[in-house]
Amino acid sequence: MSGSASLAARADGPPAPSALALDLTPAGGAAPWWRRTLRQGSFEARIALRNGEQLLLTLVLPVIVLVAAARTTSLDLGTGDRPSLALAGVLAVAVVSTAFTGQAIATGFDRRNGVLRLLATTPLGRSGLLAGKVLAVLLLVLVQVVVLGAVALAVGWHPEALRVLAAVPAVLLGVAAFTSLGLLLAGTVRAEGTLALANFVWVLLLAGGGLVLPSPIARVTDLLPSGALGGALRSALAGGTVAAGPLVVLAVWAAVATAACSRWFRWE
């Protein structure tokens, strides 16, 4: 087992000297956790912003819905001023698009392609990967809020600071609930199934889940995260109130989905 003998016997000899010599001397170290999370979050957000299909879902369709809902009078958006109600509904749609549908599809394919496996072996680890995903969703929702807010101004929305502030907890709890639901879907169903289901659920919630329009079956939809998010945002933006009921519903969904995720999420 003499190492030197086997080295001497090697026909290839030592590595050829190279103009681009690398100092491969071991110096492994992890960047601080906050930098890893920031990097992963901005990395995933950049990927999402370059993905045409996802942009369609997260920005183009919400803008169309916003303009249509604010300008037409044939839809009953509920009681309150029309642009505020339209913006509330469309922000709810935007949160579901990004946190649930877009994120579930991306995570589902990352899981199938082994990206979750590989990143779990880097200093990021599994917890950093999840933290990065949540940060990416928050960054994307921020972009959506800015774009949709600007479009809403153009179609006659008059923002009031208190009402905008009242919407913040609804957006944050909505992100929490739908991100964990999206992860639960991506971590338990195969990628193609996730793709189909995430889009199907999005259409379903948009049509009758109480996101944009107050639901005709409010007793049911008020208990859904979609109805709760739509309701909370309408209360905030059109009424200037923080609606406790819908926020509790969102918090419960977030807690249950997070627990289910840690129990059933499969990394590969």
Partner 1 sequence: MASPLPSLAKATTAPAVLVEDLRKSFGATRVLDGLSFEAAPGRVTALLGPNGAGKTTTVACCEGLQRPDGGRLQVLGLDPVADAAALRPRVGVMLQDGGLPTGVGALEALRHVAGLHTHPLPVDALAERLGLTSFARTRVRRLSGGQRQRLAVACALVGRPELVFLDEPSAGLDPQARLAVWDVVREARASGVAVVLTTHLMEEAERLADDVVVIDAGRVVARGTPADLTRGPAVLTFVARPGLPRESLRLALPVGADVVEDQPGHYAVLGIPADPRVAATVTSWCATHDVLPEGLGAQRRTLEDVFLDLTGRSLR
The footprint of partner 1 (CB under 8 A) covers: 1-7, 9-12, 14-16, 18, 20-31, 35-36, 39-40, 43, 46-47, 50-51, 109-110, 113-125, 268
User: Tokens 């969703």 correspond to what residue?
Assistant: 137
Contacting residues for 265 by C-beta, under 8 A, at least 6 apart? 183, 184, 187, 188
Cβ proximity to partner 1: between 46 and 158 the closer is 46
Distance in angstroms (rounded) separating the CA atoms of residues 201 and 103: 13
Cβ proximity to partner 1: between 23 and 76 the closer is 23
Contacting residues for 141 by C-beta, under 8 A, at least 6 apart? 94, 95, 98, 99, 171, 175
Shortest CB 33 distance to partner 1, Å? 10
Shortest CB 266 distance to partner 1, Å? 13
Determine the straight-line distance between the first and last CA of the chain, rounded to whole angstroms: 39
Shortest CB 5 distance to partner 1, Å? 7
Shortest CB 8 distance to partner 1, Å? 10
Distance in angstroms (rounded) separating the CA atoms of residues 105 and 22: 38
Distance in angstroms (rounded) separating the CA atoms of residues 258 and 182: 10
Cβ proximity to partner 1: between 123 and 239 the closer is 123
Cβ proximity to partner 1: between 165 and 267 the closer is 267
* Angle formed at CA 210 by CA 54 and CA 164, multiple of 5 degrees: 75
Shortest CB 263 distance to partner 1, Å? 17
Cβ proximity to partner 1: between 28 and 216 the closer is 28
DSSP H or E segment with residue 207: helix 191-208
Shortest CB 4 distance to partner 1, Å? 4
DSSP string, 226-238: HHHHHHHHHIIII
Cβ proximity to partner 1: between 10 and 263 the closer is 10
Shortest CB 9 distance to partner 1, Å? 5
Burial class (CB in 10 A: 0-12, 13-18, 19+), 107: buried
DSSP H or E segment with residue 131: helix 125-154
Cβ proximity to partner 1: between 79 and 122 the closer is 122
